[in-house]
Structure 1
Amino acid sequence: MSLISTEPKDAPRVGERNPERGVETLAEAKSWLKERGIEDIECITPDLAGVARGKLMPADKFFSSTVMSMPSSVFTTTVTGEYPEEDDAFQHDPSDGDVFLKPDFATLTAVPWASEPTAQIIHDAFHRDGRPFDLGPRQILRRIIGLYEREGLRAVVAPEIEFYLVKQNLDPDYPLEPPIGRSGRAEASRQSYSIQHVNEFDDLFDDIYEFSEKQGLEIDTLIHEEGAAQMEINLRHGDPLALSDQVFSFKRTIREAALRHKMYATFMAKPMSREPGSAMHIHQSVVNIETGRNIFSDDEGNPTAAFFSFIAGLQKYLPAVMCILAPYVNSFRRLTRGTAAPINVHWGYDNRTVGIRVPNSGPGSRRVENRVPSSDANPYLAIAASLACGLLGMQQRLVPEEPIAGSARDLPFGLPRGLLEALALFEDSSDLAEVFGPRFMATYRAIKQQEYETFMNVISSWERQHLLLAV
């Protein structure tokens, strides 16, 4: 797994930019596009599901007015394209007024899979009066980053994203299958960390690396995970917003590269019933802004009270943010006993059976790995939620349970078993309401409840198999 270092020498330097990703000013953006002969721009922003929403426009039109608008209802849409029902806490905007989107020039990059020279730029969402839009995922994460800054702190994260390669599947009633590799055969057994089975898809990974390089995305390592054609990409550590942008971009990149090779890449948490689920592990540490030092270690290199309180915050609040970390009914299929996924919020040193792992490291790199989130989570919201839990723990000076030395897989469940249970915990947390804001809490809960109701309208093959003639 990738390591995260928070020594001052390893921190991103102000003003240091990859020439393929980001500029600082509108004038630099014009020059950047002109140098590359780019005439079209994808103006995008993530919705609450992490789906890229926006508009494609000519560069000339973009530069005539860099402020773009979209209906506010874009941010209250379920993953199936529906809208949640109103209740006492959640109300639709009766006018469906506009949300204004402003480009973050630091995210300007190419769209390397486009047939014509095209650029993309991620936007921030605002109200008409300039206030950050309280349903925008980037704004939610910025809000959490701001809470750290008030304490004189800066969070550092490193995500690890798992995904499956599968055969193209045009009928959702049929189960997914592993794709055919260069050998002409599909994987038939578990191949964790196998170089040979990564090599089965060399041409695909060459495209992923090429697309990533052209977008200024920095892959740390790529490995074969436990499942059949299950892979993991680890990103280099850095700023939470920048890393969320990279995960957001990586998901698009990997899907597009897979399509070129007539296969799908899926970030579903549990795409195949007999294979392991896919996670998005988040490594986290915290730096003192003034000194640049990792606050999880003291001058002698020992763990600090802040380190233990961060863990305790995760233990206390992770169950209440599970609807963000595991946002769909399918997500909870991953969190089952007897698999590699955690089922509780115990913690331990270099222990992969618990939800909260402390990897081996030196004092400057001391960090906490949250192993609970699934790969289908919106990266902005998942990282925001995980950091919020740790911050609340430090603010409240919580004390964690004793670490688990052996396996935690046979211990009782400490996480919600389903989406409705998770939503109830989320809705009842007054501490989280103060952190995320009441409108986001109400809207997110309403969207997830609507998605659950839509799921309940679907009759599964299990029901037809076992109930049709037996009951």
Structure 2
Amino acid sequence: MTTSFPGGATLAEAQAFLDRYPDVQAIDIILTDCHGIGRGKTIRRHELESLFASGRGLPASMFAQDVAGDDVEGTGLVLEDGGGDLRCWPLAGTLGFLPATGRGLVLISMFNPDGSGFAAEPRHALLRQVKRAEALGFAPMGALEVEFYLVDRERDGNGRMQPARYPLTGRRSGNTNTMSVDELDEMSPFFDAVYEGAAALDLPLEALISEYACGQYELTIRYRDLMRAADDVILAKRLLRSTARRFGMEACFMAKPFGQMAGSGMHLHLSLADEGGANLFADPAEGALSPLMLQAIGGVRGTIGETMAVLAPFQNSWRRFASVNYSPGNDAWGVENRTVALRVPSGSGKARHFEHRVAGVDANPYLVAAVTLGGALDGIGAGADPGPATLGNAYENAPAHSLPRDWLGAIERLEGSDFARRVLGEPLHRGFVAIKKAEYMRMALEVSEAEWALYGFSV
């Protein structure tokens, strides 16, 4: 008899992995924190079956850490329980081999002693919204696109970070090279290794393009059930980082690593299917959009302002909106319009969905998916009207709505949001807000070199 455990994985998965990879001696076990950062351990081969059969204890205070890994007291998760461990279990379908490291890896999730999900973990917030959708007869489907930069380990003559050299030729280009196939060819040894790793991880990476800046790329991931789509982003970022290091460069997932160049987004494509897999957002007739999808868009529009601290979670995230090239800092919607927040792509009416374009690639995919799905379900429940579609350039003529204008304003809006508290749950909402406040103060006290250069001896 096959026995599954709280994460849905079975002991047979571990045994099949060990049989398939007899030379693998270590496995990274990865718990995703509030920032989307992987925390955990590297275990030895002989420990893998025990992990699947009995779980592994890790401190719940990992969800109380800021992005630097320092505890934040205001989360209520540091020593309130005495600092004890909770049990983490492998997630079904995420155990795989990463050729770049020569190790296995598996995603894990934290559970309470009664088998319920630990409320401060972001993945469980998304799982609650998925279950909410399923109770209404909806199967959430989605995919997240990942934009990122490849940067050199060596800084330029001014001490600044710079795009990586191409591994095929050793050249470094200073051109934007948007959608250049030659650029992809020069970077092909790296991306060949990425696709090899994706195959070993059963990660469905699809199209690759050179994006709107020198050294910037985008990978799309196959559309599938929303929980696995969010897991896919965690695996993809781990794969890209690990592989880039072996090529003498770094994969950078800051939202705006270079001030004068394009920012990096994480666009979420979302639809709802019925229990048989049919797309409920499909066009009901030629030239007509689904009322259900429009209600979902209306619900998400109504919550963007309250969730900007989730979509843009760091100080650097807000630099992405300073230059509006394909980075919509609005809550407008439209059809085949890349200047709006919520875009309905053209294409087959049977595959209709909408794309949420606001989140940066630095955001936690579980939280982005949770607040988007939660807003969509609220909109459907309320029969929300999304208003008229925006035509033309939404940067110039989008409806004026009250969105936060900066990071602190976004944190304060999230703190006061009943919607966010309900969707995230009280422990995660409280902890996330406390962490963001602590990070804000940390950055507010940091005097940059740019400030010294501009003000130091002038004012």
What SS does the aligned partner of 2:106 have?
A: strand
- Give the residue type in structure 2 aligned to 1:362: S
Checking the alignment, whether the CA contact within 8 Å between 1:344 and 1:414 is kept in structure 2 is: no
**Structure 1 308/31 Cα, relative in aligned 2: closer, same or farther at 3 Å?**
closer
**In structure 2, what is the Cα distance between the partners aligned to 1:98 and 1:214?**
31
What SS does the aligned partner of 1:317 have?
A: coil
Deviation of 1:159 after TM superposition, in Å, equals 1.1
What SS does the aligned partner of 2:144 have?
A: strand
Partner in structure 2 of residue 460 of structure 1: 448
Deviation of 1:28 after TM superposition, in Å, equals 4.1
Give deviations 1:349-380, integer Å, cap 9, x for gaps. Answer: 10001111110022211110001010011111
**In structure 2, what is the Cα distance between the partners aligned to 1:258 and 1:28?**
28
Partner in structure 1 of residue 265 of structure 2: 279
Checking the alignment, whether the CA contact within 8 Å between 1:269 and 1:374 is kept in structure 2 is: yes
Partner in structure 2 of residue 142 of structure 1: 127
Q: Are 2:56 and 1:78 aligned?
A: no
What SS does the aligned partner of 2:219 have?
A: strand
Partner in structure 1 of residue 215 of structure 2: 229
Deviation of 1:169 after TM superposition, in Å, equals 4.7
Deviation of 1:414 after TM superposition, in Å, equals 5.2
- Give the residue type in structure 2 aligned to 1:164: Y
What SS does the aligned partner of 2:285 have?
A: coil
What SS does the aligned partner of 2:107 have?
A: strand
Of 347-356 and 252-261, deviating more is 252-261
Residue of structure 1 aligned with 2:274, choices 285, 288, 291: 288
Partner in structure 2 of residue 244 of structure 1: 230
Residue of structure 2 aligned with 1:42, choices 28, 41, 66: 28
**Structure 1 423/90 Cα, relative in aligned 2: closer, same or farther at 3 Å?**
farther
**In structure 1, what is the Cα distance between the partners aligned to 2:326 and 2:401?**
14
Checking the alignment, whether the CA contact within 8 Å between 2:57 and 2:87 is kept in structure 1 is: yes
Residue of structure 1 aligned with 2:252, choices 263, 266, 270: 266
Partner in structure 1 of residue 354 of structure 2: 368
Structure 2, unaligned stretches of length 5 or more? Answer: 1-6
**In structure 2, what is the Cα distance between the partners aligned to 1:450 and 1:23?**
35
What TM-score do you get using the length of structure 1 for normalisation? 0.89
Q: Are 2:97 and 1:97 aligned?
A: no
Residue of structure 2 aligned with 1:112, choices 84, 99, 103: 99
Checking the alignment, whether the CA contact within 8 Å between 2:60 and 2:77 is kept in structure 1 is: no
Deviation of 1:299 after TM superposition, in Å, equals 4.5
**In structure 1, what is the Cα distance between the partners aligned to 2:392 and 2:411?**
31
Partner in structure 1 of residue 405 of structure 2: 417
Give deviations 1:65-100, integer Å, cap 9, x for gaps. Answer: 53101111111100012222438x888525122121
Partner in structure 1 of residue 55 of structure 2: 67
Partner in structure 2 of residue 11 of structure 1: none
Of 275-284 and 376-385, deviating more is 376-385
Q: Are 2:113 and 1:128 aligned?
A: yes
**In structure 1, what is the Cα distance between the partners aligned to 2:74 and 2:44?**
38
Checking the alignment, whether the CA contact within 8 Å between 1:162 and 1:279 is kept in structure 2 is: yes
What TM-score do you get using the length of structure 2 for normalisation? 0.92
Checking the alignment, whether the CA contact within 8 Å between 1:318 and 1:345 is kept in structure 2 is: yes
Q: Could you say what the CA RMSD is over the residues aligned between the two structures, in angstroms? A: 2.1
After superposition, residues 206-225 of structure 1 pair within 5 angstroms as 206-225=192-211
**In structure 2, what is the Cα distance between the partners aligned to 1:410 and 1:299?**
32
Structure 1, unaligned stretches of length 5 or more? Answer: 1-21
Of 37-46 and 147-156, deviating more is 37-46
**Structure 1 312/23 Cα, relative in aligned 2: closer, same or farther at 3 Å?**
closer
**In structure 1, what is the Cα distance between the partners aligned to 2:433 and 2:324?**
30
**In structure 2, what is the Cα distance between the partners aligned to 1:28 and 1:81?**
31
Checking the alignment, whether the CA contact within 8 Å between 1:23 and 1:29 is kept in structure 2 is: no
**In structure 1, what is the Cα distance between the partners aligned to 2:74 and 2:180?**
50
Residue of structure 2 aligned with 1:29, choices 2, 14, 19: 14
- Give the residue type in structure 2 aligned to 1:469: F
**In structure 1, what is the Cα distance between the partners aligned to 2:165 and 2:186?**
8
- Give the residue type in structure 2 aligned to 1:430: D
**In structure 2, what is the Cα distance between the partners aligned to 1:192 and 1:123?**
37
Checking the alignment, whether the CA contact within 8 Å between 1:175 and 1:272 is kept in structure 2 is: no
Partner in structure 2 of residue 166 of structure 1: 151
Partner in structure 1 of residue 318 of structure 2: 332
Partner in structure 1 of residue 4 of structure 2: none
What SS does the aligned partner of 1:233 have?
A: strand
What SS does the aligned partner of 1:106 have?
A: coil
- Give the residue type in structure 2 aligned to 1:74: M
Residue of structure 2 aligned with 1:58, choices 44, 58, 69: 44
Deviation of 1:134 after TM superposition, in Å, equals 0.6
What SS does the aligned partner of 2:206 have?
A: strand
- Give the residue type in structure 2 aligned to 1:95: G
Partner in structure 2 of residue 348 of structure 1: 334
Residue of structure 2 aligned with 1:436, choices 424, 431, 435: 424
Checking the alignment, whether the CA contact within 8 Å between 2:122 and 2:428 is kept in structure 1 is: no
Residue of structure 1 aligned with 2:185, choices 189, 193, 199: 199
What SS does the aligned partner of 1:166 have?
A: strand
**Structure 1 283/430 Cα, relative in aligned 2: closer, same or farther at 3 Å?**
same
- Give the residue type in structure 2 aligned to 1:432: A
What SS does the aligned partner of 2:305 have?
A: helix
Of 325-334 and 421-430, deviating more is 421-430
- Give the count of matched residue pairs: 445
Q: Sequence identity, in percent?
A: 32
- Give the residue type in structure 1 aligned to 2:410: A
- Give the residue type in structure 2 aligned to 1:155: P
**Structure 1 333/396 Cα, relative in aligned 2: closer, same or farther at 3 Å?**
same
Checking the alignment, whether the CA contact within 8 Å between 1:68 and 1:100 is kept in structure 2 is: yes
**Structure 1 91/119 Cα, relative in aligned 2: closer, same or farther at 3 Å?**
closer
